[in-house]
């Protein structure tokens, strides 16, 4: 995912799909060089 200390910042989008359900779900994270944080809306 790129969440290593030498990466200063990163936006991560993860897609999740259940084959039994129509559509996809997405999760958005930020990385600040130390911590990965789930972005909520």
Which regions of the chain are under pLDDT 70? none
Contact 37, 8 (CB under 8 A): no
pLDDT at 36: 94
pLDDT at 37: 96
pLDDT at 5: 87
pTM comes to 0.72
| Residue linked to tokens 């790129």 | 2
Q: How many domains does the chain have?
A: 1
Backbone angles phi, psi at 13, to 5 degrees: -120, 120
Tokens of 13: 């989008």
The boundaries of the domain holding residue 29 are 1-41
pLDDT at 3: 86
Consecutive H or E run containing 25: strand 25-31
């Amino acid at each position: 995912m790129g969440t290593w200390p030498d990466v200063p910042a990163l936006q991560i989008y993860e897609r999740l799909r259940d084959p039994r359900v129509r559509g996809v779900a997405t999760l958005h994270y930020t990385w600040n060089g130390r911590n990965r944080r789930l972005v909520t809306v």
